[in-house]
Amino acid sequence: MGTLRVTDLTVEFVSGGYKVTPFRDLSFVAEDGQLAVLLGPSGCGKTTLLSCLAGLLTPTRGKITFDDLDVTQLRGAALSAYRRRTVGVVFQAFNLIPSLTARANVMVPLRISGVGRTGAGERADQLLRDVDLGERGGHRPGQLSGGQQQRVAIARALAQDPPLVIADEPTAHLDYIQVEGILRLIRQIAAPGRLVVVATHDDRITQLADQVIELVPHAASLQREPVDVELEAGQVLFRQGDPSDLVYVVRSGEVVIYRERADGSEEPLDVVTPGRYFGELGPMMNLPRSASARAVSRAQLVGYSVREFRASMRAASDQHDPLPR
Amino acid sequence: MIVITLADLRYRYRQFLIAVLGGGVVLAMAILLSGLANGFRTEINATVGAVGADRWVMSEKSNGRVASVATFDQAAVQQIAGEPGVRAADPVVMLPQEVLRVGGRQVTVNVLAVRPGGLGSPRPGSGSALTGGGQLVLDRRAHVPLGSAVTLGTTALHVVGTVSGRTLTAGIPLAYMTLADAQAALLGGQPVVTAVVTTGVPTAVPAGLAMFTPGQVEAHSLTTLASGVSSINKSRTMMWVVAAIIIAALVYVSALQRVRDFAVLKALGSSSAALFGSLCLQAVLVTLLAAAFGTVLSFFLTGVFNQPLSVPTSAYATLPLVALVVGVAASLVALRRATSADPVAAFGG
- Tens digit of pLDDT for each residue in B33-43? 988 888 888 88
CA A187 centroid distance within chain: 20
**Closest residue, chain A, to B343 (C-alpha):** A56
What are the residue ranges of helices labelled H in chain B? Answer: 2-11, 13-51, 76-81, 179-186, 214-223, 226-257, 259-267, 272-301, 313-332, 335-339
Contact A11, A48 (CB under 8 A): yes
Question: pLDDT for A225-239, tens place per residue?
Answer: 889 999 999 999 999
Judged by DSSP in three states, B8 sits in helix
Judged by DSSP in three states, A6 sits in strand
Spell out which residues of chain B touch residue A83, defining contact as CB-CB under 8 Å. 267-269
Contact B89, B198 (CB under 8 A): yes
Q: Exposed (0-12), middle (13-18) or buried (19+): which is A113, by Cβ within 10 Å?
A: middle
How many alpha carbons lie under 13 Å from residue B179 in its C-beta half-sphere? 21
Could you give the CA distance from residue A163 to residue A151 in angstroms, rounded to a whole number?
18
pLDDT of residue A324: 47
Could you give the CA distance from residue A7 to residue A72 in angstroms, rounded to a whole number?
11
Given an 8 Å threshold on Cβ–Cβ distance, is B264 in contact with A168?
no
Q: Cα dist. A141→A21, A93, A96, A149, A150 in Å?
A: 36, 12, 7, 6, 10
**Closest residue, chain B, to A158 (C-alpha):** B268
Phi and psi torsions of B168, nearest 5°: -145, 165
Residue by residue, DSSP assigns B110-135 as EEEEE-TTSTT----SEE----STTE
**For an interface test with B, which of A48, A97, A154, A160 has the most B Cβ atoms less than 10 Å from its Cβ?**
A97
- The DSSP secondary-structure symbol of A219 reads G
pLDDT exceeding 70 applies to what percent of chain B? Answer: 99
pLDDT exceeding 90 applies to what percent of chain B? Answer: 49
Judged by DSSP in three states, B315 sits in helix
List CB contacts of B12: < 8 A, sequence separation 6 or more.
A99, B254, B257
Query: Is A147 an interface residue toward B (CB < 8 Å)?
Result: no
Contact B159, B138 (CB under 8 A): yes
- Mean local confidence (pLDDT), A82-98: 89
- Which of A198, A178, A149 has its CA nearest to residue A39? A198
B82 pLDDT exceeds 90?
Answer: yes
- Mean local confidence (pLDDT), A190-195: 92
Spell out which residues of chain B touch residue A169, defining contact as CB-CB under 8 Å. 349
Kindly report each contact of residues A154-157 with a partner whose C-beta sits within 8 Å and lies 24 or more positions away, as own/partner.
A154/A90, A154/A182, A154/A185, A154/A186, A154/A189, A155/A102, A155/A106, A155/A124, A155/A127, A155/A128, A155/A130, A155/A131, A156/A88, A156/A96, A156/A105, A156/A106, A156/A108, A156/A109, A156/A127, A156/B268, A157/A88, A157/A89, A157/A90
Spell out which residues of chain B touch residue A98, defining contact as CB-CB under 8 Å. 11, 261
Exposure string (b/e) for B272-305, b if CB count within 10 Å is 16 or more?
Answer: eeebbbbbbbbbbbbbbbbbbbbbebbeebbeee
Could you give the CA distance from residue A173 to residue A312 in angstroms, rounded to a whole number?
40
- Which of B155, B61, B141 has its CA nearest to residue B113? B155
Q: Cα dist. B327→B13, B274, B284 in Å?
A: 17, 16, 4
Judged by DSSP in three states, A182 sits in helix
Residue A276 binned pLDDT confidence (cut-offs 50, 70, 90): very high
A9 pLDDT exceeds 80?
Answer: yes
Could you give the CA distance from residue B44 to residue B90 in angstroms, rounded to a whole number?
20
Cα-Cα-Cα-Cα torsion A240, A243, A245, A246, nearest 10 degrees, comes to -10
Could you give the CA distance from residue B185 to residue B110 in angstroms, rounded to a whole number?
14
Could you give the CA distance from residue A157 to residue A153 in angstroms, rounded to a whole number?
6
Is the backbone of residue B285 left (phi > 0), alpha (psi -120 to 50) or beta? alpha
Is the backbone of residue A76 left (phi > 0), alpha (psi -120 to 50) or beta? left
pLDDT of residue B60: 93
Q: How far is A192 from chain B (nearest CA, A)?
A: 23
- Mean local confidence (pLDDT), B100-106: 91
Contact B262, B42 (CB under 8 A): no
Residue B194 binned pLDDT confidence (cut-offs 50, 70, 90): very high
Q: Cα dist. A230→A249, A256, A298 in Å?
A: 12, 15, 8
Residue by residue, DSSP assigns B231-274 as HHHHHHHHHHHHHHHHHHHHHHHHHHHTHHHHHHHHHTT--HHH
Contact A85, A78 (CB under 8 A): no
Residue A35 binned pLDDT confidence (cut-offs 50, 70, 90): very high
Q: Cα dist. A80→A84, A107, A154, A196 in Å?
A: 6, 17, 20, 20
Spell out which residues of chain A touch residue B3, defining contact as CB-CB under 8 Å. 100, 104, 111
A59 pLDDT exceeds 80?
Answer: yes
pLDDT of residue A325: 42
Of B3, B269, B349, the CB nearest to A113: B269
Angle at A144 between CA A143 and CA A146, to 5 degrees: 135
pLDDT of residue A221: 57
Spell out which residues of chain B touch residue A54, defining contact as CB-CB under 8 Å. 267
Phi and psi torsions of B194, nearest 5°: -105, -15
What are the residue ranges of helices labelled H in chain A? Answer: 46-53, 76-81, 102-112, 117-130, 146-157, 176-189, 281-285, 306-318
- Which of A70, A52, A66 has its CA nearest to residue A11? A52
Cα-Cα-Cα-Cα torsion B274, B278, B279, B280, nearest 10 degrees, comes to 90
Given an 8 Å threshold on Cβ–Cβ distance, is B3 in contact with A111?
yes
Decide the pairing of beta strands B86-102 and B149-152: antiparallel
Most confident among A129-138, B108-117, B231-240 (mean pLDDT): B108-117
Phi and psi torsions of A250, nearest 5°: -85, 125
- Mean local confidence (pLDDT), A88-115: 90
Of A50, A112, A156, the CB nearest to B347: A50
Question: pLDDT for A278-322, tens place per residue?
Answer: 998 888 877 788 899 999 999 999 999 888 888 888 877 766 555
Of B267, B274, B348, the CB nearest to A92: B348
pLDDT of residue B169: 83
- The DSSP secondary-structure symbol of A245 reads -
Higher pLDDT, B174 or B339: B174
Given an 8 Å threshold on Cβ–Cβ distance, is A99 in contact with B268?
no
- Mean local confidence (pLDDT), B178-187: 92
A219 pLDDT exceeds 70?
Answer: no
Q: Is the dihedral of CA B37, B39, B40, B44 positive or negative?
A: positive
B348 pLDDT exceeds 80?
Answer: no
Could you give the CA distance from residue A174 to residue A94 in angstroms, rounded to a whole number?
11
Phi and psi torsions of B141, nearest 5°: -65, -15
Could you give the CA distance from residue B51 to residue B89 in angstroms, rounded to a whole number?
12
Q: Is the ipTM of this structure higher than 0.90?
A: no
Among A residues 59-88, those touching chain B with beta carbons less than 8 Å apart: 80-81, 83-84
